[in-house]
Every structure is written in C-alpha cells, then in structure tokens.
A = this chain, B = another copy of it.
Amino acid sequence: MPLPLILARSKTSVLPTKTLQVNGFVCKDPMAVNADDFFKAAKLDQPRDTTKSKVGSNVTLINVMQLPGLNTLGISLARIDYAPLGQNPPHTHPRATEILTVLEGTLYVGFVTSNQADRSNKLFAKVLNKGDVFVFPQGLIHFQFNPVHDKPTVALAALSSQNPGAITIANAVFGSKPPISDDVLAKAFQVQKGTIDWLQAQFWENNHY
C-alpha cells in the first residue's frame, strides 16, 4: 500500500470529501480516461544535474506520483544519475524489490542481508559495467556508488510497486525531526553522545522519495 492510511473515528482532521483518497489518489472518471493517463514524456534519456546533491546523485522517479495511471498496477521506474564518485546512499524500499541495469559507466552496488543465525549482515556486492543487471530484494539495505573519478554513471531501475517508498538510512537515523534521543543512538552506534549531537546538527537531504 502506498501511504499508510491514517484513520480516525472522530470527525476532526478528516479530509474534506472533495479530496477523499483511494490509495492516496483521487479517481478519474473512467469515461475520461485516455492514452495520456498511461504515458509520460519523462525524458529518461536526458542527463540530470548531480552537482547540487551532497551525495552526488539525482534520482528521477516514474511512480504513481508522477504517472497516476500506475495506481494498482504494481510497478515503477527510476533513472539514477551518479556524478563521478557519487552515490545513491544506503537506503531501503519498504514495499518493493528493485532490479537495476547500468546504461552508462560503472557502478559498485550491494545489499546487506538481514539478521540470520549464520548469515547475518553479509554484504553481497558487485561492480557492474554497462549492460549488467543486479537485484536488491525488498526491504534490504542497499546502495550504489560510481567508483570512477572522471565519468558519470547512469542506471535505470524498476521496482515492484507503484509506490515503493524509500528510507535513506543516515537521514532517517540522524536527520529525523524531532531527533531520536542521543542516548539511544550513542549506544546503538557505539559512539559518544557528542558525535550523535554533531551528526544530528548536520543537514540531511533526501535524494529521492
């Protein structure tokens, strides 16, 4: 399901009926539907600007937010541009598996297995060249990194949901508003509280949604 549906039996803070939502979106009159509802001039062939991104990437999503006709259809696309030495930092997609192929350049990718008796936290990583394919199973922490210092990389990814969701790990942990208690994080990450405080004072920008 895309956004969690938050409910209330009381009538306070209820959405005005005009904007009542199904899967978070308003339905179009079926008689008015046409080919354009399944189309987007997404310019997925065009390079994106990665210079403004702290982490050196730019993610162009084509999911139900950009192409409403995708609702209920269970799939989405993304184009990812990586600056030289840029990355799509460690993140998860709570609601989808991702499959990725490199269109240009080189890409170091990986995911980490979940906690399992003998095989916890194993990193499965590969260096991908143009034309290679890699899979990131749903919900696992993964990342991509362009190891080349003088050429950008471009990848195309597909996700098994019209609204996969994204959790950027560093941002969620250290950039939440309000912040998570620094006692909790200091112990969880085995660092000083001061380190946590410093981290929480940084600016954490999401590179995608």
Contacts and interface: CB of A to CB of B under 8 A. Distances in A.
Interface in A174-192: 174-181, 183-185, 187-191
A189 to B, nearest CB: 5
A135 interface: yes
Contacts of A206: 115, 120-121
Contacts of A111: 38
Given A7-B26, A72-B4, A121-B206, A130 B187 contact: no
Number of copies of this chain that the complex holds = 6
A40 interface: yes
B69 A135 contact: yes
A116 B3 contact: yes
Interface of A: 1, 3-9, 11, 13-15, 17-18, 20-46, 54-56, 62, 64-65, 67-77, 85, 87, 89-90, 92, 94-99, 101-103, 108, 110-112, 114-126, 128-141, 143, 145, 147, 156, 158-160, 165-181, 183-185, 187-191, 195, 199, 202, 204, 206, 208-209
